[in-house]
Structure formats: C-alpha cells, structure tokens
Amino acid sequence: MRVLSGIQPTGRFHWGNYFGAIKQYIELQYENDGFYFIADLHALTTVREPTVLRANVRDAALDLLALGLDPTRATLFVQSHVPEVSELYWILMTGAPLGLLERCVAFKDKEARGIKADAGLFTYPVLMAADILAYDSQCVPVGEDQNQHIEVCRDLARSFNAHYGETFVMPSARILKETAKVPGTDGQKMSKSYGNVLALFEDAKELRKKIMRISTDSRPMEEAKDPETDHLYQLYSLFATDEQRLEVRDMYLRGGFGYGEIKKRLADVADNFLEPLRKKRQELASNPETVDRALASGARRARTVASDVLARVQKACGIKP
C-alpha cells in the first residue's frame, strides 16, 4: 500500500511530533511503500527567512533519519524538489470550488487567532491535495484536525475524475492514534504555537530543567490522584516500560508522593530513550553527504512517480499533448 505524509519544517521537532505522528510513520515503513516529505512549500506561509527555512529543512531531515526513517525502505524527500506537484496544484486550483475552501476549519481557526490570512494559507488544502494525488497515494496518516483536508482532496479528485475520466487514485485517511494528543508543559496539547513544547534533540541538561519546571496542581502529597487525567503521568507513559508504568500508576492511586519525584522519573526515562537518538543524529550531522544522498535519491524516485501522474492528468484535461 502506498502511504504518504508530510511534515512542515517550521521548527525543531518535539515530543508531540514524534509520538503523535513520526513514530507511526516509521512503523508503517516496514510493510508499506512509504513516501514522506519535508513540506517546505507549505512552510512558506509562516517562515519567510530563507536561511531559517533552509536550516529547518536540514534539521528536519537529520531528525527524521535519526529517529529511524530508513531511506532504503521509504522515500524521503523535500517537497519543493518535486516541481510536478506545483503544476498539479494549479490544475486542481482551476476546479476547486471557492465555497469548499471557505469551509476549511484550519484556515478559519488560524484567522481567528490573528494569523495573517493570505492566498497561500487559504489554498493550503489544494496544495495538500496535490501532494497526495501526485504519488497515487492510497493511505494518508493524519491527526483528527487534518482529516477535513483529506476530504477536500477526495472531493477534488472525485470531481476531476467525473469530468475527465478516471485519472486519480482515491486516497483514504488513516487517523493517527490517541497518542497524537501529547500534553505540553502546561497540560494543553503540545504545540509550538502554544510555547509548551519539549524538544526531541534538546540538550539533556536543558531538557531536564524544563521537565522540572512543568506546571502541576496544588493537591497535597498524601492525596490520591487519577493518573489518567494527569499530564505528568501521560508524558511518563510515553517512555516507560509496562512495569514502570504500573509502578507509577499505583503511586498515583495510593498518594503519598510529590510531583517532583515523578518529574525526576520522567527526566530519567526520557533521557534513556533519547540519548541513543542524540548520538545517531550527531553522527549523521558529521556526515552530511549521507543526508544529501538520501534526499537526492528520494527526490528522484518521487519525481519519477509524480511525472507519470502529471502526464496522465495533462492528457486527461487537454494540455501538453
């Protein structure tokens, strides 16, 4: 099955990115034909400094490879390295109903939060549709908040197929597991826009300091606590073994402990998990040609597939005979 997903290089990846999405991408690469791209074209709606964007793309590639994305199993590439997608985007735009885009929740949400609304942000779902359709994608792993964009993609593909004949493969969404709702340092969903993130490749000492500053409630030590509603326990559960998780769960149900003890345990299990990944990333960073080869190889394969799809679309709608 052809699986496709992209991730924006708008900053360093955090725990929510990994446990909410990247971990599941990596698991899917073993039994599927995975296409994973760094969405630098999408990032242009928010990142306007070229040096920052280039650095973010590089960091994203290093992070993904260090986290276990295997370029011999999956196709890893940079979105803008496949220009066929931009041409397909325009073709889809010519048949995209204005009302369909106006109903997209993500755009309205960003507009409500005071983010400057431009045409790129408004037509984001059409570019996302081009990303998906360009590779004959069958499965698109997304969070609940992105499911509407998959429906937009399906609507555009269905409309094109009805007008010009069967051209596009119809993709389906795969809603990512509940781990997508990884809590941040304030208990809300971890997000760069909320400023509550714990970065994956942050310096170990700095990360421990941030963990020790995580906000908690003021319940007394002796009081029993519900682990399922506590964000410290939820974060601890991401890294802990089943045995460790059960031990801490029993502590919550008994009471008689301070949150500082849980924070120390969280810092320890997180460091044990992340330290080998930090070392792998350092090795990759010291061998930049390895990353270059992986991205170049991925772009070649992605362009081969996208060129075939675009030729099929052009023939169907009457351009480039």
Active site residue ranges:
110, 189, 192
CB of 6 within 8 A of CB of 131?
Answer: yes
Express the helix, strand and coil content of the chain in percent, nearest 5 each: 60, 10, 30
Cβ burial, residue 290 (10 Å; 0-12/13-18/19+): middle
φ/ψ region of 220 (left if φ > 0, alpha if ψ in -120 to 50, else beta) reads beta
d(CA 171, CA 140) in angstroms, rounded, equals 7
Q: How far apart are CA 234 and CA 190, in angstroms?
A: 12
The Cα–Cα gap between 158 and 65 comes to 35
Report the distance separating Cα 250 and Cα 150, nearest Å.
Answer: 41
SS3 (DSSP) at 320: coil
C-alpha to C-alpha distance for 247 and 242, rounded to whole angstroms: 9
Nearest to 25 by CA among 57, 69, 62, 60: 69
